A and B are shown apart, each in its own frame.
Chain A
Amino acid sequence: MVVPERETDLLVTNAQAGNSEDFAMLVQLYERKIYGYLSGLLGDRDEALDLAQQVFIKAWLKLKTLNDVSRFQTWLYAIARNAVYDYWRARKETCQSWEHLEINNICAELPGPEEWTVEADLVRLTLAELSPKARQCLLLRVIGGFSHQEIADIVGLGETSVGTYISTARRQFRVAYSHLQNETLEQESEPAYVCIKA
Protein backbone atom coordinates (compact mmCIF):
# COMPACT_ATOMS: atom_id res chain seq x y z
CA MET A 1 0.00 0.00 0.00
CA VAL A 2 1.45 3.36 -1.02
CA VAL A 3 0.14 6.39 0.81
CA PRO A 4 1.43 9.89 0.03
CA GLU A 5 3.59 11.38 2.76
CA ARG A 6 1.10 14.21 3.37
CA GLU A 7 -1.68 11.71 4.01
CA THR A 8 0.51 9.77 6.40
CA ASP A 9 1.17 12.98 8.32
CA LEU A 10 -2.57 13.58 8.53
CA LEU A 11 -3.14 10.06 9.84
CA VAL A 12 -0.52 10.64 12.50
CA THR A 13 -2.07 13.96 13.49
CA ASN A 14 -5.53 12.39 13.73
CA ALA A 15 -4.16 9.46 15.69
CA GLN A 16 -2.45 11.84 18.07
CA ALA A 17 -5.86 13.40 18.66
CA GLY A 18 -7.12 9.96 19.73
CA ASN A 19 -8.48 8.57 16.46
CA SER A 20 -7.73 4.87 16.76
CA GLU A 21 -9.06 4.07 13.28
CA ASP A 22 -6.45 6.30 11.71
CA PHE A 23 -3.81 4.70 13.87
CA ALA A 24 -5.05 1.30 12.65
CA MET A 25 -4.38 2.55 9.12
CA LEU A 26 -0.85 3.51 10.11
CA VAL A 27 -0.34 0.04 11.59
CA GLN A 28 -1.61 -1.44 8.35
CA LEU A 29 0.91 0.67 6.45
CA TYR A 30 3.92 -0.27 8.55
CA GLU A 31 3.24 -3.65 10.16
CA ARG A 32 4.87 -5.80 7.46
CA LYS A 33 8.04 -3.75 7.34
CA ILE A 34 8.36 -3.42 11.11
CA TYR A 35 7.85 -7.17 11.39
CA GLY A 36 10.49 -7.74 8.68
CA TYR A 37 12.94 -5.49 10.48
CA LEU A 38 12.34 -7.26 13.80
CA SER A 39 12.46 -10.67 12.19
CA GLY A 40 15.80 -9.87 10.57
CA LEU A 41 17.25 -8.55 13.81
CA LEU A 42 15.96 -11.34 16.05
CA GLY A 43 16.12 -14.25 13.62
CA ASP A 44 12.87 -15.60 15.03
CA ARG A 45 9.49 -15.12 13.42
CA ASP A 46 7.32 -15.77 16.48
CA GLU A 47 9.30 -13.40 18.67
CA ALA A 48 9.23 -10.82 15.89
CA LEU A 49 5.44 -11.01 15.71
CA ASP A 50 5.08 -10.60 19.49
CA LEU A 51 7.48 -7.70 19.49
CA ALA A 52 5.79 -6.03 16.51
CA GLN A 53 2.54 -6.09 18.44
CA GLN A 54 4.26 -4.52 21.44
CA VAL A 55 5.88 -1.87 19.25
CA PHE A 56 2.54 -0.69 17.89
CA ILE A 57 0.90 -0.68 21.31
CA LYS A 58 3.79 1.38 22.64
CA ALA A 59 3.58 3.70 19.64
CA TRP A 60 -0.14 4.20 20.25
CA LEU A 61 0.39 5.00 23.91
CA LYS A 62 3.32 7.34 23.29
CA LEU A 63 2.11 8.96 20.09
CA LYS A 64 1.29 12.25 21.78
CA THR A 65 4.96 12.68 22.67
CA LEU A 66 5.93 12.79 18.98
CA ASN A 67 6.48 16.48 18.19
CA ASP A 68 7.16 16.29 14.46
CA VAL A 69 4.58 14.12 12.67
CA SER A 70 6.79 13.90 9.58
CA ARG A 71 9.25 11.89 11.66
CA PHE A 72 6.71 9.19 12.51
CA GLN A 73 8.46 6.43 10.56
CA THR A 74 11.87 7.16 12.07
CA TRP A 75 10.28 7.32 15.51
CA LEU A 76 8.48 4.01 14.97
CA TYR A 77 11.68 2.21 13.95
CA ALA A 78 13.45 3.70 16.96
CA ILE A 79 10.75 2.15 19.17
CA ALA A 80 11.24 -1.17 17.37
CA ARG A 81 15.00 -0.98 17.81
CA ASN A 82 14.65 -0.22 21.53
CA ALA A 83 12.20 -3.09 21.89
CA VAL A 84 14.79 -5.45 20.42
CA TYR A 85 17.49 -4.17 22.77
CA ASP A 86 15.14 -4.60 25.74
CA TYR A 87 14.41 -8.13 24.53
CA TRP A 88 18.10 -8.95 24.19
CA ARG A 89 18.85 -7.46 27.58
CA ALA A 90 16.09 -9.55 29.14
CA ARG A 91 17.54 -12.65 27.54
CA LYS A 92 21.10 -11.47 28.17
CA GLU A 93 22.27 -12.02 24.65
CA THR A 94 23.33 -9.58 21.96
CA CYS A 95 23.61 -11.94 19.05
CA GLN A 96 21.94 -15.24 18.40
CA SER A 97 24.08 -18.15 17.41
CA TRP A 98 23.75 -20.13 14.21
CA GLU A 99 22.87 -23.32 16.11
CA HIS A 100 20.05 -21.63 18.01
CA LEU A 101 18.50 -20.41 14.78
CA GLU A 102 18.88 -23.76 13.12
CA ILE A 103 17.01 -25.57 15.87
CA ASN A 104 14.25 -23.00 16.33
CA ASN A 105 13.62 -21.96 12.79
CA ILE A 106 14.89 -24.34 10.16
CA CYS A 107 13.35 -27.37 11.82
CA ALA A 108 10.19 -25.62 12.96
CA GLU A 109 6.93 -26.12 11.15
CA LEU A 110 6.43 -22.93 9.26
CA PRO A 111 3.49 -21.59 7.30
CA GLY A 112 3.73 -20.58 3.66
CA PRO A 113 5.31 -22.13 0.59
CA GLU A 114 8.25 -24.39 1.42
CA GLU A 115 10.61 -22.71 -0.98
CA TRP A 116 9.90 -19.28 0.46
CA THR A 117 10.48 -20.34 4.05
CA VAL A 118 13.78 -22.08 3.27
CA GLU A 119 14.97 -18.97 1.47
CA ALA A 120 13.75 -16.73 4.30
CA ASP A 121 15.52 -18.88 6.88
CA LEU A 122 18.72 -18.79 4.86
CA VAL A 123 18.56 -15.00 4.81
CA ARG A 124 17.90 -14.91 8.57
CA LEU A 125 20.81 -17.26 9.21
CA THR A 126 23.04 -15.10 7.06
CA LEU A 127 21.98 -11.96 8.90
CA ALA A 128 22.79 -13.69 12.20
CA GLU A 129 26.41 -13.91 11.02
CA LEU A 130 26.63 -10.11 11.00
CA SER A 131 27.34 -8.00 14.07
CA PRO A 132 24.15 -6.57 15.63
CA LYS A 133 25.09 -3.00 14.60
CA ALA A 134 25.90 -3.97 11.02
CA ARG A 135 22.70 -6.01 10.88
CA GLN A 136 20.48 -3.20 12.10
CA CYS A 137 22.08 -0.58 9.82
CA LEU A 138 21.63 -2.84 6.81
CA LEU A 139 18.03 -3.68 7.73
CA LEU A 140 17.11 -0.05 8.31
CA ARG A 141 18.52 0.78 4.89
CA VAL A 142 17.04 -2.16 3.01
CA ILE A 143 13.69 -2.59 4.76
CA GLY A 144 13.04 0.88 6.16
CA GLY A 145 14.52 2.64 3.15
CA PHE A 146 16.18 5.21 5.41
CA SER A 147 19.04 7.48 4.41
CA HIS A 148 22.36 7.14 6.22
CA GLN A 149 21.55 10.31 8.16
CA GLU A 150 18.20 8.94 9.32
CA ILE A 151 19.80 5.64 10.32
CA ALA A 152 22.41 7.58 12.26
CA ASP A 153 19.57 9.27 14.18
CA ILE A 154 17.80 6.00 14.91
CA VAL A 155 20.80 3.98 16.07
CA GLY A 156 22.81 6.83 17.59
CA LEU A 157 25.87 6.53 15.38
CA GLY A 158 27.70 8.98 13.13
CA GLU A 159 26.67 9.12 9.47
CA THR A 160 30.10 7.93 8.31
CA SER A 161 29.98 4.97 10.70
CA VAL A 162 26.57 4.03 9.31
CA GLY A 163 28.05 3.96 5.80
CA THR A 164 30.89 1.77 7.00
CA TYR A 165 28.53 -0.62 8.80
CA ILE A 166 26.27 -0.94 5.75
CA SER A 167 29.23 -1.45 3.46
CA THR A 168 30.67 -4.15 5.73
CA ALA A 169 27.26 -5.75 6.17
CA ARG A 170 26.56 -6.00 2.43
CA ARG A 171 29.98 -7.52 1.76
CA GLN A 172 29.73 -9.98 4.65
CA PHE A 173 26.20 -10.91 3.69
CA ARG A 174 27.28 -11.88 0.17
CA VAL A 175 30.07 -14.11 1.40
CA ALA A 176 28.10 -15.68 4.26
CA TYR A 177 25.03 -16.23 2.10
CA SER A 178 27.03 -18.05 -0.58
CA HIS A 179 28.70 -20.13 2.12
CA LEU A 180 25.44 -21.13 3.79
CA GLN A 181 23.78 -21.70 0.45
CA ASN A 182 26.52 -24.15 -0.53
CA GLU A 183 26.22 -25.91 2.82
CA THR A 184 22.47 -26.24 2.36
CA LEU A 185 22.91 -27.65 -1.12
CA GLU A 186 25.48 -30.16 0.14
CA GLN A 187 23.20 -31.19 3.00
CA GLU A 188 20.30 -31.66 0.64
CA SER A 189 22.37 -34.16 -1.32
CA GLU A 190 23.13 -36.21 1.82
CA PRO A 191 20.20 -38.55 2.60
CA ALA A 192 21.47 -39.35 6.11
CA TYR A 193 21.26 -35.72 7.17
CA VAL A 194 17.75 -35.39 5.82
CA CYS A 195 16.72 -38.39 7.92
CA ILE A 196 18.11 -36.78 11.09
CA LYS A 197 16.24 -33.56 10.43
CA ALA A 198 12.98 -35.43 9.77
Chain B
Amino acid sequence: MNQLMYVSKLKPCPLWKEKLAATCLDELPRSGRAAFKVHAASCQICDAMLTDYLAVDSRIRQALIPQQSLGLWKAFLTLPPNSNTIDTYQANKKQNPVNNEES
Protein backbone atom coordinates (compact mmCIF):
# COMPACT_ATOMS: atom_id res chain seq x y z
CA MET B 1 0.00 0.00 0.00
CA ASN B 2 2.75 2.41 0.97
CA GLN B 3 4.77 1.38 -2.02
CA LEU B 4 2.17 2.73 -4.44
CA MET B 5 1.94 6.04 -2.61
CA TYR B 6 5.69 6.39 -2.51
CA VAL B 7 6.39 5.71 -6.17
CA SER B 8 3.47 7.70 -7.54
CA LYS B 9 5.54 10.88 -7.28
CA LEU B 10 8.43 9.48 -9.31
CA LYS B 11 8.92 9.80 -13.07
CA PRO B 12 10.53 7.01 -15.09
CA CYS B 13 13.03 7.69 -17.88
CA PRO B 14 11.39 8.75 -21.17
CA LEU B 15 12.84 5.74 -23.01
CA TRP B 16 11.14 3.28 -20.66
CA LYS B 17 8.07 5.23 -19.59
CA GLU B 18 5.64 3.83 -22.19
CA LYS B 19 7.17 0.37 -22.42
CA LEU B 20 7.01 -0.20 -18.68
CA ALA B 21 3.43 0.94 -18.28
CA ALA B 22 2.22 -0.90 -21.38
CA THR B 23 3.94 -4.22 -20.90
CA CYS B 24 5.54 -4.58 -17.46
CA LEU B 25 8.24 -6.20 -19.65
CA ASP B 26 5.92 -9.19 -20.34
CA GLU B 27 5.55 -8.54 -24.01
CA LEU B 28 9.05 -7.31 -24.69
CA PRO B 29 11.46 -9.59 -26.54
CA ARG B 30 14.25 -11.17 -24.54
CA SER B 31 16.66 -8.48 -25.76
CA GLY B 32 14.30 -5.76 -24.50
CA ARG B 33 14.09 -7.35 -21.06
CA ALA B 34 17.86 -7.70 -20.93
CA ALA B 35 18.24 -4.04 -21.89
CA PHE B 36 15.91 -3.04 -19.09
CA LYS B 37 17.85 -5.16 -16.61
CA VAL B 38 21.01 -3.27 -17.52
CA HIS B 39 19.20 0.06 -17.28
CA ALA B 40 17.50 -0.79 -13.97
CA ALA B 41 20.86 -1.62 -12.41
CA SER B 42 21.70 2.08 -12.57
CA CYS B 43 18.20 3.61 -12.41
CA GLN B 44 16.31 3.09 -9.20
CA ILE B 45 13.31 5.05 -10.41
CA CYS B 46 12.59 2.79 -13.40
CA ASP B 47 13.21 -0.26 -11.26
CA ALA B 48 10.81 1.02 -8.61
CA MET B 49 8.29 1.92 -11.30
CA LEU B 50 8.25 -1.63 -12.64
CA THR B 51 7.71 -2.95 -9.12
CA ASP B 52 4.92 -0.42 -8.73
CA TYR B 53 3.13 -1.43 -11.93
CA LEU B 54 3.39 -5.09 -10.98
CA ALA B 55 1.89 -4.17 -7.62
CA VAL B 56 -1.00 -2.47 -9.42
CA ASP B 57 -1.70 -5.67 -11.39
CA SER B 58 -1.44 -7.82 -8.31
CA ARG B 59 -3.73 -5.50 -6.36
CA ILE B 60 -6.39 -5.63 -9.09
CA ARG B 61 -6.23 -9.43 -9.31
CA GLN B 62 -6.46 -9.86 -5.55
CA ALA B 63 -9.34 -7.44 -5.24
CA LEU B 64 -11.48 -8.69 -8.11
CA ILE B 65 -10.91 -12.43 -8.43
CA PRO B 66 -12.68 -14.27 -5.62
CA GLN B 67 -10.72 -17.01 -3.90
CA GLN B 68 -13.72 -19.31 -3.62
CA SER B 69 -15.67 -20.87 -6.47
CA LEU B 70 -18.89 -19.06 -7.34
CA GLY B 71 -20.68 -22.33 -7.97
CA LEU B 72 -22.02 -21.24 -11.34
CA TRP B 73 -20.76 -24.50 -12.83
CA LYS B 74 -23.20 -26.56 -10.75
CA ALA B 75 -26.15 -25.50 -12.90
CA PHE B 76 -24.58 -27.17 -15.92
CA LEU B 77 -24.18 -30.52 -14.19
CA THR B 78 -27.93 -30.97 -14.08
CA LEU B 79 -28.48 -30.42 -17.79
CA PRO B 80 -29.22 -33.45 -19.92
CA PRO B 81 -26.73 -34.27 -22.72
CA ASN B 82 -27.07 -32.31 -25.95
CA SER B 83 -29.06 -29.53 -24.35
CA ASN B 84 -26.89 -26.85 -25.83
CA THR B 85 -29.38 -25.42 -28.24
CA ILE B 86 -31.72 -22.64 -27.24
CA ASP B 87 -34.83 -24.80 -27.76
CA THR B 88 -33.66 -27.76 -25.70
CA TYR B 89 -32.19 -25.49 -23.01
CA GLN B 90 -35.45 -23.59 -22.61
CA ALA B 91 -37.53 -26.77 -22.66
CA ASN B 92 -35.33 -28.22 -19.95
CA LYS B 93 -35.51 -24.98 -17.97
CA LYS B 94 -39.32 -25.13 -18.03
CA GLN B 95 -39.33 -28.77 -17.04
CA ASN B 96 -36.84 -28.41 -14.24
CA PRO B 97 -36.53 -24.72 -13.26
CA VAL B 98 -35.09 -25.26 -9.80
CA ASN B 99 -32.13 -27.31 -10.92
CA ASN B 100 -31.33 -24.98 -13.76
CA GLU B 101 -31.45 -21.80 -11.74
CA GLU B 102 -29.45 -23.23 -8.89
CA SER B 103 -25.96 -21.74 -8.66
Contacts and interface: CB of A to CB of B under 8 A. Distances in A.
Interface of A: 15-16, 18-21, 23-25, 27-28, 31-33, 35-37, 39-40, 49, 52-53, 56-57, 60-61, 63-64, 116, 119-120, 122-124, 127, 138-139, 141-143, 147-148, 163-164, 166-168, 170-171, 173-175, 177-178, 181-182
Contacts, number: 135
Nearest to A15: B84
B37 to A, nearest CB: 20
A120 B84 contact: no
Contact of A171 (B21, B27, B62, B65): B21
Interface of B: 1, 4-5, 7-8, 18, 21-24, 27, 52-53, 56-57, 59-66, 69-70, 72-77, 79-86, 89, 103
Contacts of A52: 70, 72
B79 to A, nearest CB: 4
**Which 9 pairs, one residue from A and one from B, show the smallest C-beta to C-beta distance?**
A18-B82, A123-B63, A36-B64, A27-B73, A167-B21, A167-B22, A24-B76, A36-B65, A20-B79
B60 A123 contact: yes
A138 B8 CA distance: 18
Given A36-B65, A123-B60, A177-B4, A167 B18 contact: yes
A28 B1 CA distance: 31
B56 A170 contact: yes
26 contacts: A18-B82, A18-B83, A18-B84, A20-B77, A21-B76, A24-B74, A28-B73, A31-B72, A37-B64, A40-B64, A53-B72, A53-B75, A53-B103, A60-B76, A63-B84, A119-B62, A120-B63, A123-B60, A127-B60, A138-B60, A141-B57, A142-B60, A170-B22, A173-B60, A178-B4, A178-B8
